[in-house]
Amino acid sequence: MDAEYRGAVAGMADTYGKALPAVGDWVNGVTSGKAWAGYVLSAEPGRIAVECGGAWIVVPESHLARM
């Protein structure tokens, strides 16, 4: 990637906020002291549904450690 592209992406993140993970992306995080990891089933502002080994959880977007 060139510097102009990186600058444009950074400017969009500042203007519009951080992008949500896409369906199927691998994510992980910690909620109420419990670590979890799995694939995104759905994503909307403020909440992410994650499939974690046969079960699913809904977590706040702020609890994502990696997207």
pLDDT tens digit sequence for 14-67: 676 677 888 999 999 999 999 999 999 999 888 999 999 889 999 998 888 865
pTM greater than 0.75 (yes/no): no
Residue 17 token pair: 């906020």
Each residue of 11-32: b (16+ CB within 10 Å) or e? eeeeeeeeebbeeebebebeee
Among 36, 46, 40, 47, smallest CA distance to 22 is for 40
